[in-house]
Structure 1
Amino acid sequence: MSVDQYSICPCGSGKKIKFCKCKDSVGELEKVLTMFEGGQLVPALDRLSNILQEHPDAAWALALRGRLLMDLREYDSLAENADRFIRLQPSNPLALTQRAAAKIFSADVSAATESLLEALNESGRNVDSFVMDVSSMLAMVLAQQGNVLSARVYAMLSAYAQGYDNEQVRGFLAQLDSAPSLNHRQKAVPAMIERPADADWGERFDEALSLLRSNKVLLAQTKFESLRRTVVGEPAVLSGLFLCAVWRADMQQQCEMLKQLSQCESLSFDERCRYRALAALTQPTDDIAIPAVELFAEIENADEVELALIASDRLIQLPPETARQFITSEEEVPPRSVFRLADRPKVGEDSELPAAEDIPVSQAIVLVYGRQTDRAACVEAIEVFESDVEEIKNVLTGVIGDVTWDSKPFGSIPFLDACESRPAYQFRKGSMEDIQAIVLGFMNIHLPKSVLTQQLPILGGRSLADTADDDSLLLERTTVVRIVESYEALASKPQVIAAIQDGAKVAPLPEIKLTNADVEEGVHNEDLFRVDTSSLGIEELWYILSQCQSIGVRSTGAKVAKQLIATDMSEDQNVLKLQCYMYWLSAVSDTAQAGSIAEEAIAFAKEKKLPFASLLMMKLELHLSTGDEAGFKSTIGEIDANYRNNPEVMAQLQQLLMRAGLIRPDGSLRQGSPAGPAPGASPAASSSSGLWTPDSPNPPAAGSPASGDGGSKLWVPGMD
């Protein structure tokens, strides 16, 4: 079979083979493609090398060889191939894309981005799948560097490209959207601001915008820069430059354009705060990150220091397994012991559960290292805020004796982590419901105080509380509060948010009563926390629920799911209602409420004769997380009674038990594996929960997983 002379040449020129410069050497193409399809990658690579020796200008061979080298992870050879390809055809989009891939693998992300933009500029309307592959790679690397907006545009370029199917990049986007630590304001790229309809520079603006929408970013930026010199401070032009900076992965320029937008008096105050908040989130070190230091001192005797720390009323020793959290590689030696330093004397752990207000706050993590071949024994205090340095030095010196303290930068702690006060207490008693109630009370007390007293760069090194009456910092103060409101971990706690708003003297944003038309136009991610959906129809409610689910707005999503469940639906919409039950169950944090929802959902499914295996799995995971032995056994029995002969459900159950650490992949018992830690509880609390695990001393009752020695199998319903 001969090569079709009227097919597009694989060299990337966009021309048909008959009219391409490659026509004289393309006779070997079919053989090479056959090797590709047969998985003979190394022979194909050798064949391409021979072809290039015979035909040095065979661009199609360079194009295929570059893809093959990337698949084989021969990155140095890929860089050489890209250079040769570019020398042959400097504007070939595949050559430019190969160079971008090589730059990614050499960790030169800036050069990779510029090269990929050149490739997009040269691609025209039809973009090769190889360009999309490298775009996906670039998106993931940018996300690892914290360049979230740029990662999003490159991921979306690949995810929504016509004719390009890549499950991995869609999964990456879903993971990015649902990340709980990511502020919701970072989960969408701001839309372009429209220009004034009567602007005399409108034609120039439209031309730049057209180039930007055609992925010709470098040309668009040149035209927007020219416009900025003509119309200084115009929001539409600044918006265009901001989007160009996003495509160029230039975080400094992104931040600069966002700050300039926040200063545009023609925009509303809320819009200006929106842009300023995104600027602070884009480069948090400049605005909202909290600098911290690490204190360290050499010690003579690690045993004596360890005993002194254990005896102190200001230090709480953490479980031994915690030590491995403080190593970055297997070669490192973990600390011999880990402590939390409390801000006041600790509460006795032998008494009943303490009240939330009596639990001290952790000020730092203290690590003790024994003597090693390359270092002396030492004690370290990490995650220390600069304002706490002297107090922590004094406390530790008073416990371990006179030592010489040195310090070094620990880095900047993200705003959310810095504000999240941690209890300096080990929960060893009490039910999960009681512990959760105490932890929630602790957070309601300390979280507002922590947010209000953090000294932030955006406020000139002052705190929200200190600047509450400073009208000159109203924009910056409001910006910080809007950032706080857009973190899922804080927005789901209305009592905390209200206390922060009152303490900062920032008015809350008004509730948005949505109409069906509003939903069609779209709702900003950060506005989902304040929507009133009572007037929406079923289709619009489902759309809002899907948006909440995709970006992890659990509090609003739970309300909408509950509203849909209470809505009269036709029989053919029962599946939709069951999905709402499942989302509601996954969104609530209160374990008692979750249990009630699970029972209600299972009863509904049984009544409507719908499958409910997924609900039973969620219920089982709930029992595992709370250490509910009786509930665990009961749910196992329920799965057995309803799905014993369903191999798919039995496989799901086995996977769940493997994830929980109860069994190995072959079904044998995993000795010494605790149940999963309960939310909000310490490792010590989890390990003493009372849940039966394979290493428990007492065998389970009938109908629960069978006991046995280390070589036995954990009984799973349906097993012979």
Structure 2
Amino acid sequence: MALDPYQLCPCGSGKKIKFCCSKDIVPELDKVIRAVQGEQRVSALSSVAKLIEEKGPRLALLALRADVELALGQLEQADKTIDEFLAASPDNPVALALSAIHAGGKNDLESAIEDLQQSLEHLGGVMPPSVYSAIGVVGQTLLAHGDVLAARGHLLMQVGLAGERDENPIRLLMRINMMPEIPLLLKQDYHYAERPEGAEWAEAFDIAMQQARKGAWVAACEKLDDLEEQFPDQGAILKNIAILSGWVGQRDEASIAWRKYSRLEGIPLDDAVEAEALAQMLDPNAERDELDSVAVIYTVTDVEKLMELLLSNSRVGRMPIDPAEMADDDGPPPKAAFWLLDKAVPESGVDLTREQVPNVLGEMYIYGKETDRPGRIEYSLVRDEDYDSRKQALAEFAGEFIEGEPTEEVLGPVPKVSAGLTWRWRLPDDTPAEKRTELVSEQRRESMLQRWPAMELKTLNGKTPRELAADPANQVRSLAAILLLELSNEQNSADFDFNELRRELELPTCDPIDPAHVDAMTLSLVQIPFVEVEKLSDEGLLTLYRRVVLKYAVTSIRIIAEEVLRRDSLNDTVDKNEAYDLLIRTATDSEDALRHVEDAKQATSERAESSARWLLAELSVRLSRYEAEQAQAIIQTLQLHHRDEPGVAQGLYEILASFGLITPDGTPPAMPAAAAQAAVAAQPAAADGGSALWTPDSPSESAPTEQKSKLWVPGMD
């Protein structure tokens, strides 16, 4: 179809071609645009260059040339073309959008945001394709820089503009939403606050919000900032400043506005706490609570004898890594890697108590003698309150084989709270899963209720949470700190009732929410777990279910999916297999996962359907628990009864490959049997048969190593 002269001119003026700079070159313009659409960009660029030579640097031609140069990666040429375009038309939205795309390609985030915002501010009427593309480029650049809040703001704007024409922004947005490591506060959809009726500042506010709704967020913010100076402490003004500042990456302004909003009189406590939590999360100037990860380097006099000691001592566990993979340009890899424990591993874990569990003091990397360097131990640990005693433990353990004063090398920072609430255990091989769960629950409660409240944190002005909570003026700030800890805990799928912590610090708890008094579509993601879901109608329940699944809100998924499964009235409305699958994937531990697997298998049996899906899910759990016999039985069942069902063979191979039991091409791996057995676990056992490291959220205890793997996999026979 020939180019319609009544289309908008590519130059960005907002005029139709017939009345703009390209009115006398419509056939030539049509040829160029067709070449671009057919991805014949080199030909298009040649045609544009010829037209510019003949007709002069018309804005439409400059727009097309810059667009094609960017697509071809000719960045220097694009830079010159865009500069020429902007010199001729400084406020042109297409020129500014192309400049934003160019800046994003150079990773110049600040310029990309500024150019895009100017483009949107000067835009009138229909949005040109280059402006739409610039929104996506800036959003993706923000995401690459780790600014999830601002990236989601841009992607949401692009989704609203795209309709059904472009699925890429909604796919990227969904991918972000499904990332469990992103806190729920950053996945929350923030809606503009409405002004109160009859406000003295209503007209100026409405003008600012008109700018905001067209995407000119910086211009809107400037107007709202002026309003805030004239009319301070207005909730609608402050909340909208906070939202808009966050979307353009101005984290400091967003943090200040959210904090001001949280302190306003009349703001509901839950809203105030979330606003303060966002302020703490976004504040770029806040002192971070971090500790140094350090390598303490000791000179070794006799590496071979030291190795004999390490391999024979029950206070040492061999780390399940291949030292050869640690080679770099600075020298050869370590000969071996070990954990130093604070006590010997008990013979049995059946009746184990927390006091008997060995803790890892640090990681030891043993290096042999080199031409220009003696043998050495690189002892990796965190510089916390136990740093000196951990160093002393190694000095006493290996003292006869080390000499001189050690040197220290800072490897990088680690979050203080994370380091303080994480523990690493070496459990006996026969520790039952139930015992492990019991020990974890005890340790987690102690960490949350005793250790965290006693931590001095810079983010709390050097106070401990317990000290801060004792001051009524800091109630919201204390609750916000707990909320951030709770969201971090959710990311790790850990099971702990944070109302216990609130009660411990004598703070208000999060009470049950009667759904009759809330709107399920606008309820904050962090408040959904407190909804009394049994009181919801089927429609209301499904509304919340879809919300929490789309945002991968783990705690809420567990609660709501359970309720969905309980209701027979939803059997024909919702895919209950999906609900079982979600419960398995978000389970707090392997026992919880197996319970859901059994429920799913039972439901499948009652419907006379194949259980292959749940057998594959169970296989993953059994392998993570080192349960070779049970895993073997599942594989045999799949082979005998389900191998011809769609997706079963592929699913089986993917699971076995993920645990290192077969290579991607389906053959057994070329590794020792002990290593194959180790691969069964998420926290693998090492070749010496007794050194698997277990951390609080790992799914299994360590397993004994045998001369031959118990697990048969396809191809072994």
How would you bin the TM-score normalised by the shorter chain?
0.7 to 0.9
The match for 2:290 is: 290
How far the C-alpha of 1:339 sits from its partner, in A, is 5.1
How far the C-alpha of 1:112 sits from its partner, in A, is 0.9
Contact 1:436 1:680 in 2 (8 A): no
Contact 2:495 2:588 in 1 (8 A): no
Contact 1:628 1:690 in 2 (8 A): no
Measure, in 1, the Cα distance between the counterparts of 2:523 and 2:495.
21
How far the C-alpha of 1:231 sits from its partner, in A, is 1.0
Secondary structure of the residue aligned to 1:615 is: helix
Change (3 A) 1:696 1:408: closer
The match for 1:624 is: 623
The match for 2:249 is: 249
The match for 1:348 is: 345
Secondary structure of the residue aligned to 2:188 is: coil
C-alpha distance after superposition, 1:482-530 (max 9, x if no partner): 2223334389656562453244332322121223x62445221111222
Contact 1:346 1:425 in 2 (8 A): no
Measure, in 2, the Cα distance between the counterparts of 1:81 and 1:612.
62
Identity, in percent, stands at: 22
Change (3 A) 1:165 1:297: farther
Change (3 A) 1:170 1:570: closer
626-635 or 472-481: bigger deviation: 626-635
Contact 1:427 1:682 in 2 (8 A): no
Aligned residue runs from structure 1 range 546-565, under 5 A: 546-565=546-565
Measure, in 1, the Cα distance between the counterparts of 2:604 and 2:711.
33
Change (3 A) 1:348 1:363: closer
Contact 1:357 1:442 in 2 (8 A): no
The match for 1:707 is: 716
The match for 1:124 is: 124
Measure, in 1, the Cα distance between the counterparts of 2:239 and 2:232.
13
Contact 2:14 2:124 in 1 (8 A): no
How far the C-alpha of 1:273 sits from its partner, in A, is 2.4
Measure, in 2, the Cα distance between the counterparts of 1:201 and 1:19.
41
Aligned residue runs from structure 1 range 114-193, under 5 A: 114-163=114-163, 165-193=165-193
How far the C-alpha of 1:150 sits from its partner, in A, is 0.8
Q: Which amino acid aligns with 1:625?
A: S
Q: Which amino acid aligns with 1:587?
A: T
How far the C-alpha of 1:349 sits from its partner, in A, is 5.5
C-alpha distance after superposition, 1:661-711 (max 9, x if no partner): 44444433433384766457767648975899xx966683xxx62424xxx
Q: Which amino acid aligns with 2:628?
A: E
Secondary structure of the residue aligned to 2:162 is: coil
237-246 or 626-635: bigger deviation: 626-635
TM-score, normalised via structure 2 length: 0.84
2:498 equivalent to 1:501: no
The match for 2:405 is: 403
Measure, in 2, the Cα distance between the counterparts of 1:111 and 1:698.
60
Contact 1:302 1:369 in 2 (8 A): no
The match for 1:231 is: 231
Q: Which amino acid aligns with 1:128?
A: P
Change (3 A) 1:462 1:19: same
275-284 or 501-510: bigger deviation: 501-510
Aligned residue runs from structure 1 range 283-322, under 5 A: 283=283, 286=286, 289-292=289-292, 294=294, 296-297=296-297, 299=299, 303=303, 307=307, 317-321=318-322
Q: Which amino acid aligns with 1:420?
A: L
Contact 1:323 1:337 in 2 (8 A): no
Q: Which amino acid aligns with 2:405?
A: V
Measure, in 2, the Cα distance between the counterparts of 1:135 and 1:371.
56
Change (3 A) 1:185 1:664: same
Measure, in 1, the Cα distance between the counterparts of 2:319 and 2:272.
45
How far the C-alpha of 1:596 sits from its partner, in A, is 3.8
Aligned residue runs from structure 1 range 207-606, under 5 A: 207-283=207-283, 286=286, 289-292=289-292, 294=294, 296-297=296-297, 299=299, 303=303, 307=307, 317-321=318-322, 337-338=336-337, 345-348=342-345, 350-352=347-349, 354-362=352-360, 384-385=382-383, 387-396=385-394, 398=396, 399=399, 400-403=402-405, 405-406=407-408, 408=410, 410-411=412-413, 413=415, 415=417, 417-425=418-426, 428-432=429-433, 434-489=435-490, 495=496, 497-515=498-516, 518-569=518-569, 572-573=572-573, 576-606=575-605
Contact 2:277 2:481 in 1 (8 A): yes
Contact 2:96 2:115 in 1 (8 A): yes
Task: Give ranges in structure 1 of 5+ residues lacking alignment.
Answer: 709-720
Secondary structure of the residue aligned to 1:618 is: helix
Measure, in 2, the Cα distance between the counterparts of 1:91 and 1:590.
57
Aligned residue runs from structure 1 range 34-73, under 5 A: 34-73=34-73
How far the C-alpha of 1:314 sits from its partner, in A, is 7.5
The match for 1:78 is: 78
Aligned residue runs from structure 1 range 89-128, under 5 A: 89-128=89-128
Measure, in 1, the Cα distance between the counterparts of 2:331 and 2:125.
52
How far the C-alpha of 1:563 sits from its partner, in A, is 1.8
How far the C-alpha of 1:245 sits from its partner, in A, is 1.2
Q: Which amino acid aligns with 2:588?
A: S
How far the C-alpha of 1:266 sits from its partner, in A, is 4.1
How far the C-alpha of 1:589 sits from its partner, in A, is 3.2
How far the C-alpha of 1:19 sits from its partner, in A, is 1.6
Contact 1:280 1:288 in 2 (8 A): no
C-alpha distance after superposition, 1:595-630 (max 9, x if no partner): 343233234234335565543432333333333334
Q: Which amino acid aligns with 1:235?
A: G
Q: Which amino acid aligns with 1:228?
A: E
Secondary structure of the residue aligned to 1:13 is: coil
Measure, in 1, the Cα distance between the counterparts of 2:444 and 2:81.
57
Measure, in 2, the Cα distance between the counterparts of 1:132 and 1:690.
58
The match for 2:697 is: none
How far the C-alpha of 1:76 sits from its partner, in A, is 3.5
485-494 or 14-23: bigger deviation: 485-494
Change (3 A) 1:320 1:638: closer
How far the C-alpha of 1:48 sits from its partner, in A, is 3.5
How far the C-alpha of 1:249 sits from its partner, in A, is 0.8
C-alpha distance after superposition, 1:455-475 (max 9, x if no partner): 212322122234453445433
Measure, in 1, the Cα distance between the counterparts of 2:640 and 2:682.
30
Change (3 A) 1:78 1:340: farther
Secondary structure of the residue aligned to 2:135 is: helix
Change (3 A) 1:182 1:39: closer
Change (3 A) 1:244 1:151: same
Contact 1:336 1:370 in 2 (8 A): yes
Higher relative contact order (CA 8 A, sep 6+): 2
How many residue pairs are counted as aligned between the two chains? 696
The match for 1:718 is: none
